[in-house]
């Protein structure tokens, strides 16, 4: 019996996506009399039925290629922009799913993709997901593919910044991706020998950072590297944000709630300039010249590392095992080196933060790294 498999990649691009697509396709052809199609540009391509046949020619030579041959987008199945309106397009997606007589739709992506896939699962589709994100913040899996490559890029950046910081006696604040979790900044900071590491899980005190920088200066080390996650937040700012949330909960009128919502939105906009604000404060408090380096999308680019190629291939092959056994509504996770199907119900709406007793945090503290607290 022919097995019909659909594949899509959604959310931010990430090293290892093509490795996973290749593993799914090649494993499917080895295991079944399979027909595999890929939908272009994530859930929007599924809605519009824009697809390609993932035959041997398309799967050849992509193991080491970064990005995704299928393209991607951040569209949400039940809140998709169509013209000037956000519409629920899940019925249109189900129609395309049935049109191609798909036995399963495989969705590769991060937290938003897991949620979108879960929505389609509730619509009646057989769904399997694979965990992809450079943030490494998906629960129930030891690691997501894309993380190792990004970690290597961010670490190399921290390495390279040491020489210019030392030469010019500067503080260099390097912003590393991670809105909600600090895995990437923490890992790159520890591996790259950053003097200060700031992550969302540990609100920081600017005075504590200044003290650490000045202590280094007094000991003859007239430079400092500060690795800061883009979602890191100062203690005072956290208190202000929590106060606004508390006010919103207590607000009685619609106008009051709207004003507080606007204030919270403005707060998030201000947070986008966090690295520059921090650098200015430290320059004033320490007397040392400060500079900011924002790595941004550089961390997503390039060929996947050997670790990410292996992980993506292992997860992609395990996905075909799930199809063979009729196991759907799951994310294929890696736990202790072995793959495991985890129900999507256990994934959606959760985020894997860095535990405060994690060995990486302990190691950073032991070697004298300031974590801002």
E strands in the chain: 2-9, 33-39, 51-53, 80-82, 85-87, 104-109, 127-131, 171-176, 196-198, 224-229, 290-294, 330-335, 338-343
Between β-strands 80-82 and 85-87, what pairing exists: parallel, antiparallel or unpaired? antiparallel
Taking 50 as the pLDDT cut, the residues of the chain under it are none
Query: What pLDDT, on a 0 to 100 scale, did the predictor assign at position 220?
Result: 86
Q: Say yes or no: domain 2-145+304-336 is CATH 3.30.70.100.
A: no
Which CATH architecture best describes the domain 151-300+356-366? 3-Layer(aba) Sandwich (3.40)
Q: Is 84 left (phi over 0), alpha (psi -120 to 50) or beta?
A: alpha
- CA–CA separation, 306 vs 312, rounded Å? 10
pTM: 0.90
Q: Which of 103, 135, 137, 308 is catalytic?
A: 135
Shared fold status for 2-145+304-336 and 151-300+356-366: yes
Q: List the chain domain ranges.
A: 2-145+304-336, 151-300+356-366
Query: What pLDDT, on a 0 to 100 scale, did the predictor assign at position 199?
Result: 95
- CA–CA separation, 137 vs 146, rounded Å? 11
Whether 135 is catalytic is: yes
């Amino acid at each position: 019996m022919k097995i019909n498999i659909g594949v899509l990649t959604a959310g931010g691009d990430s090293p290892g996506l093509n490795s996973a697509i290749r593993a799914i396709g090649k494993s499917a052809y080895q295991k079944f009399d399979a027909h595999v199609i890929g939908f272009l540009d994530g859930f929007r391509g599924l809605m519009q039925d824009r697809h390609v046949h993932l035959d041997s020619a398309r799967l050849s030579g992509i193991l080491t290629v970064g990005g995704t041959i299928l393209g991607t987008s951040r569209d949400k199945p039940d809140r998709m922009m169509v013209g000037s309106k956000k519409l629920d397009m899940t019925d249109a997606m189900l129609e395309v799913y049935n049109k191609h007589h798909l036995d399963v739709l495989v969705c590769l992506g991060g937290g938003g993709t897991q949620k979108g896939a879960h929505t389609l699962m509730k619509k009646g589709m057989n769904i399997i997901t694979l965990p992809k994100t450079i943030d490494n913040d998906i629960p129930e899996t030891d690691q997501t593919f894309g993380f190792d490559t990004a970690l290597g890029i961010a670490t190399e950046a921290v390495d390279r910044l040491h020489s210019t910081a030392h030469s010019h006696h500067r503080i260099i604040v390097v912003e590393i991706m991670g809105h909600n979790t600090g895995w990437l900044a923490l890992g790159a900071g520890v591996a790259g020998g950053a003097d200060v590491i700031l992550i969302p899980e540990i609100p920081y005190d600017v005075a504590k950072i200044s003290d650490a920088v000045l202590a280094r200066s007094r000991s003859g080390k007239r430079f400092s590297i500060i690795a800061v996650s883009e979602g890191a937040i100062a203690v005072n700012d956290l208190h202000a944000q929590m106060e606004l949330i508390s006010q919103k909960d207590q607000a009685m009128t619609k106008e009051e709630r709207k004003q507080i919502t606007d204030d919270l939105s403005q707060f998030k906009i201000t947070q986008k300039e966090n690295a520059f604000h921090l650098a200015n404060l430290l320059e004033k408090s320490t007397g040392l010249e400060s500079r900011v380096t924002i790595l941004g999308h550089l961390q997503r680019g390039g060929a996947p590392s050997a670790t990410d190629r292996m992980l993506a291939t292992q997860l992609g092959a395990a996905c075909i095992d799930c199809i063979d056994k009729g196991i759907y509504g799951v994310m294929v996770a890696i736990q202790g080196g072995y793959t495991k199907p985890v129900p999507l119900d256990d994934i959606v709406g959760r985020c894997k933060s860095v535990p405060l007793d994690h060995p990486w945090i302990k190691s950073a503290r032991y070697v004298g790294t300031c974590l801002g607290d």
